[in-house]
Amino acid sequence: MRENRTFAERTRRFNGDRTRKKYFLVYEGSNTEEIYFKAVNELRNEVGIHPLIELVSLVRSYSEEGWSNPKKILECLMREIGEKETGKISYKTLLDKVMETISEEGQNLPEISNISRETIFKILECCCKGNMKKSMEDTVENVEESCKELLFLLNKRFFMERITEILENTMKNIEKGGITYSKDFDKVCFIVDRDKNSFTEKQYNFVLEKCRENSFGFYITNPCFEFWLLLHFDEVLSMDKEKLLMNNRVNSKNRYVEAKLKEILPKYSKTRYDAELLVKNIDKAIENEKMFCEDIEDLKNQLGSNLGVLIQEMRKNK
């Protein structure tokens, strides 16, 4: 995982040099939730977010793209926080940093501009496992030498003129460190859906226990994030609660909750929607949430959300 620096940029300017508590937002999904909380950040004054709180969105590194299981995402987050504390990184992190650098270089690397990221990553992974005899979980003993070896093997395939610069920039990305999380000051907010098809009861209990052990916030919407979006409108109060909770498929594209949301917001899609319109009505969502379940234990099986609790906490800076 890595910090979305653009997401947090406006907050840093707004707060100047004062000490800020960072709320690290970790999402199960990769689009819908981030779009919403980016709007919360942009409208932070209207929402009433405390000025000494900085919202930092954590986005997936290349090897994590497509992940959706909350248990797997949480375990990855805990591993990366552990790497920050020990100063040691895994080969998974090293490969992700190489991929991050290559993505940043973009069209400055004409030799691989037409090669898919998937192909490049597979080559790096094969080099790691085959040539270097290392698993992705192994600890890198000498970061610079291992990075040189990976890039040397990649360069044998593509003959990149700027290979030295890629090495230098990868090392700079590694030296910047990973997540700038301070255990004694900041807060991790783990935001997930209660999708019973992919998030089992056993996994739910595991995630809840680990969040409590690590003082992470666990914020869940049952059955899905779209229900939190529905809470921004009073129409949700008259909808069939059992159908909302079951969230069965109503057609080839939509389940019940998303279909009901589209009745109110016809242009809604998971990757593109007017989040600012919703955020401007966030007080209504907080009020309506209280009509449903907010308890983290009961949300395992009951219709509801506790995202409103998170927003209220951000206002108070607890």
pLDDT 10s digits, 210-240: 999 999 999 999 999 999 999 999 999 999 9
In-domain check, residue 5: no
In-domain check, residue 168: yes
In-domain check, residue 117: yes
In-domain check, residue 99: yes
Residue 8's pLDDT is: 55
Judged by phi (left if over 0) then psi (alpha if -120 to 50, else beta), residue 106 lies in left
Q: Mean pLDDT score of the chain, rounded to an integer?
A: 89
Exposure of 174 by Cβ count < 10 A (0-12 exposed, 13-18 middle, 19+ buried)? buried
Contact status, residue 5 vs residue 13, Cβ threshold 8 Å: no
Tens digits of per-residue pLDDT, 61-90? 877 776 668 888 898 888 888 888 888 999
* Residue range(s) defining the domain that contains residue 109: 88-175
In-domain check, residue 151: yes
Structure tokens at 234: 């009073």
Among 190, 185, 186, smallest CA distance to 307 is for: 190
Token pair 């248990």: residue: 71
Tens digits of per-residue pLDDT, 81-139? 888 888 899 999 999 999 888 888 766 677 777 788 888 899 999 999 999 999 999 99
Contact status, residue 38 vs residue 57, Cβ threshold 8 Å: yes
Tens digits of per-residue pLDDT, 165-194? 888 989 988 887 778 888 889 999 999 999
Tens digits of per-residue pLDDT, 11-42? 444 445 567 899 999 998 768 999 999 999 99
Q: How many CA atoms lie within 13 A of 143 on its CB side?
A: 19
In-domain check, residue 188: no
Structure tokens at 243: 């159908």
What distances in angstroms separate CA 162 from CA 29, 96, 170, 234, one per listed residue? Answer: 35, 19, 12, 57
Total structural domains within the chain: 1
Alpha carbon distance 63, 68 (integer Å): 13
In-domain check, residue 256: no
In-domain check, residue 235: no
Q: Where residue 318 falls among pLDDT bands split at 50, 70, 90?
A: very low
Residue 76's pLDDT is: 86
User: Residues with Cβ < 8 Å from 213, sequence gap 6 or more?
Assistant: none
292 vs 78, more confident: 292
Q: 10 pLDDT exceeds 60?
A: no
Among 173, 175, 176, 170, smallest CA distance to 152 is for: 170
Token pair 């910047």: residue: 176
